[in-house]
A and B are shown apart, each in its own frame.
Chain A
Amino acid sequence: MEQLYQRDIYGQTLVELGRTNKNIVVLDADLSGSTRTSLFAKEFPERFFNFGVAEQNMMAAASGFASCGKTVFVSTFAMFATGRAWDQVRNTICYNNFNIKIVASHSGITVGPDGSSHQALEDVALMRVIPNMNIIVPCDGPQTRDAVLAAVNTPGPFYIRLGRPKIATVENKPEFKFGQAQVLTEGKDLTIIACGIMVGEALVAARNLLAKGIKARVINMHTIRPLDTVTILKAAGETRGLVVCEEHTVIGGLASSIDEAVAENHPIKTVRVGIKNRFGQSGEPADLLKEYNLTSHDIEKAALVCVNTECK
């Protein structure tokens, strides 16, 4: 199975876009090697600006560029993009509804050995509450390119969440459409909704459930804002419960988005697979996924809870 770094795809896509779109500028805060904006910097040094270790300045400066008509890509680790510079993102990027694309790497627990300070587990929640912000969490390498193209072709601010490790490519996905979830497997017993690296885990869980006679619908909810409520409510109507999986706190992210959508329109049992009110810690990504109950096995268990305790 093909394994890719989302960051590699991001850097390559930026270079590809930079060749035809002279309006693109790229900003980074001393992490250009890690985020791979260094690829763009090498090819288009006059349109790349390193801000040093100063994320607040970078985010607010992005608005200065955008006010002059630039399409601005801004990259650093997810923790610093969303946490350190939240006020700048809210007041100076989103409030102005500027054409600024924040593409953050090193999200989630799979940052690994660097530990808690570098593991953004709340970034989607932080970005989701700000009006005008669009959010994409691509599930693999190729989808990272789809996400970046969608962002560049859609006016307004974006948050694109990327991970640190290589990710196995999810095969046979339907065509990517921004704002439209991808149904990866059909099923009537329950629905597993996932984003990012949890999509691959969800597919493994679905295969294991099938062996037990349970048919799970798996949905890749790559776009978290605007949320595809049509696909969610269809699943809520046609299956017996929802399992929502994210490499993120269960508070405020994908699970909350889904809960809000169904609570208002079609109340149904949901079970959340995510990080439960804990900080991260050092460790290898695979061990951390086990420690924080983010494996296909955990999804399978949640699915069984879901089908066995249906809401009346």
Chain B
Amino acid sequence: MLILNFELCYLNLKMQYSDTQIKQLEEKAKQIRRLIIQMLAKAGSGHPGGSLSSADLITALYFAVLRHNPKQLDSPSRDRFHMSKGHCCPLWYAALAESGYFPAEELWSLRQLGSILQGHSDRRTPGVDVASGSLGQGLSVALGMCLAAKIDKKDYRVYCLMGDGEIQEGNIWEAAMAAAHYKCDNLCGILDYNGFQIDGRTKDIMDLEPVVAKWQAFGWHTIEIDGHNMREILSAYAEAKTIKGKPTIIIARTIKGKGVSFMENVVDFHGRAPTQEEAERALKELE
């Protein structure tokens, strides 16, 4: 009976978004991908692969899930998002600019001296609460935000995006253990499981498997999805909200460099910006 109820509930969650809404979000994700390519080509350095692989996850979050207001940066009850894999900040910056946190022109200053858009995200960017860049620390930051919510009796939720290579850091598992211990059901982790890290495939460099069992063993509710299927992404966020007494992680199977044919699953594009010529080709594909 319990299982049936849960399935019904899950179906409801799946059905609450119309085809039009899904289409709009898919279009928005495409726009975000275009901005990522343009920013990185202009900057001449940066990390396209993981920015593109997480683009659908973060677009859905910013434009359909997160309770936030770009005009009220410090609102105590706002939902929080923290990008633990700070090298994918071009994606974050694009989502923030599209949300109205700062003018889109700022995007073309990425990685330049004096820019509000640093090579790894920090607090000079409106909408960024805590800096990141040194991997493995962001889930702890999110945990602190969740515990602060408990003290203040606030109902905001905290979302934290992690890279798959990043969860090789021990600090992640310290945070995972603590979040379950403190029953942080206001915490939703998002794992961008694209299967690549700088030096190659995660399974060759340092295998993460069985990744789902690991999070479950640490006391987390796990949801596995196709990280490029907007309906599955939205359902996962909705399901996460219903889970009580434990944190949730959305383990999203993704494609590194998703959306640009010649970048997909190409490890070189983890940390190399497209050339002008490559950017033009990429933008054509993203029209």
Question: How would residues 103 to 117 of chain B score, 1 for a CB under 8 Å from any chain A CB and 0 otherwise?
Answer: 000000000000000
Nearest B residue (CB) for A27: B144
Check A56/B148 contact, CB under 8 A, given A63-B141, A64-B140, A67-B130: no
Check A70/B148 contact, CB under 8 A, given A56-B170, A61-B140: yes
A256 is an interface residue with CB less than 8 A from chain B:
no
Nearest B residue (CB) for A67: B129
A117 is an interface residue with CB less than 8 A from chain B:
no
* Residue among A47, A56, A58 with the highest chain B CB neighbour number at 10 A: A56
A154 is an interface residue with CB less than 8 A from chain B:
no
Check A60/B151 contact, CB under 8 A, given A49-B182, A67-B129: no
* Residue among B136, B152, B177, B178 with the highest chain A CB neighbour number at 10 A: B178
The 5 A-B residue pairs with the shortest CB-CB distance in the complex, in nearest-first order: A64-B144, A60-B140, A57-B174, A68-B148, A61-B144
B143 is an interface residue with CB less than 8 A from chain A:
yes
Check A67/B175 contact, CB under 8 A, given A25-B151, A49-B182, A92-B131: no
Partner of A92, one of B76, B137, B182: B137
Residue numbers in A under 8 Å from B286 (CB-CB): none
A226 is an interface residue with CB less than 8 A from chain B:
no
Report A's interface with B, CB cutoff 8 A. 25, 46-47, 49, 51-52, 54, 56-70, 87-88, 91-92, 95-96
Inter-chain CA distance A52–B173, complex, in Å, is 13
- In the complex, chain B residues 123-159 whose Cβ is within 8 Å of any chain A Cβ: 123, 129-134, 136-138, 140-149, 151-152
Inter-chain CA distance A88–B57, complex, in Å, is 27
Residue numbers in A under 8 Å from B142 (CB-CB): 64
B122 touches A64 (CB 8 A): no
Inter-chain CA distance A118–B182, complex, in Å, is 29
B171 is an interface residue with CB less than 8 A from chain A:
yes
Least distance between B235 CB and chain A CB atoms (Å): 27
Q: Given contacts A64-B142, A64-B146, A92-B141, list 13 more A-B pairs with CB under 8 A.
A: A49-B147, A51-B174, A56-B136, A57-B171, A61-B143, A64-B148, A67-B129, A69-B148, A91-B134, A92-B130, A92-B132, A92-B140, A96-B130
Nearest B residue (CB) for A56: B171
Inter-chain CA distance A56–B151, complex, in Å, is 22
Inter-chain CA distance A224–B130, complex, in Å, is 27
Least distance between A308 CB and chain B CB atoms (Å): 49
Inter-chain CA distance A87–B132, complex, in Å, is 11
Inter-chain CA distance A91–B144, complex, in Å, is 16
B122 touches A63 (CB 8 A): no
Check A60/B131 contact, CB under 8 A, given A54-B177, A96-B123: no
B177 touches A60 (CB 8 A): no
* Residue among A52, A58, A64 with the highest chain B CB neighbour number at 10 A: A64
Least distance between A14 CB and chain B CB atoms (Å): 16
Question: How would residues 233 to 272 of chain B score, 1 for a CB under 8 Å from any chain A CB and 0 otherwise?
Answer: 0000000000000000000000000000000000000000
Residue numbers in A under 8 Å from B147 (CB-CB): 25, 49, 61, 64-65
* Residue among B132, B138, B141 with the highest chain A CB neighbour number at 10 A: B141
Nearest B residue (CB) for A44: B151
Nearest A residue (CB) for B182: A49
Inter-chain CA distance A70–B182, complex, in Å, is 18
Residue numbers in B under 8 Å from A60 (CB-CB): 137-138, 140-141, 144, 171, 175
Nearest B residue (CB) for A91: B134
Residue numbers in A under 8 Å from B137 (CB-CB): 56, 60, 87-88, 91-92
Inter-chain CA distance A21–B206, complex, in Å, is 46
Least distance between B188 CB and chain A CB atoms (Å): 14
Inter-chain CA distance A70–B143, complex, in Å, is 14
* Residue among A51, A59, A68, A70 with the highest chain B CB neighbour number at 10 A: A68
Least distance between A26 CB and chain B CB atoms (Å): 11
Residue numbers in B under 8 Å from A95 (CB-CB): 122, 131
B178 touches A65 (CB 8 A): no
Inter-chain CA distance A52–B171, complex, in Å, is 13
Least distance between A237 CB and chain B CB atoms (Å): 40
Residue numbers in B under 8 Å from A58 (CB-CB): 140
- In the complex, chain B residues 194-241 whose Cβ is within 8 Å of any chain A Cβ: none
A and B contact pairs by CB, cutoff 8 A, 11 listed: A56-B137, A56-B170, A59-B140, A60-B144, A64-B148, A88-B171, A92-B140, A92-B141, A95-B122, A96-B123, A96-B130
Inter-chain CA distance A25–B145, complex, in Å, is 12
Residue numbers in A under 8 Å from B151 (CB-CB): 25, 46-47, 70
Nearest B residue (CB) for A51: B178
Nearest B residue (CB) for A29: B174
A63 touches B130 (CB 8 A): yes
Least distance between A30 CB and chain B CB atoms (Å): 12
Nearest B residue (CB) for A49: B147
Partner of A68, one of B122, B133, B136, B152: B152
Partner of A57, one of B122, B123, B143: B143
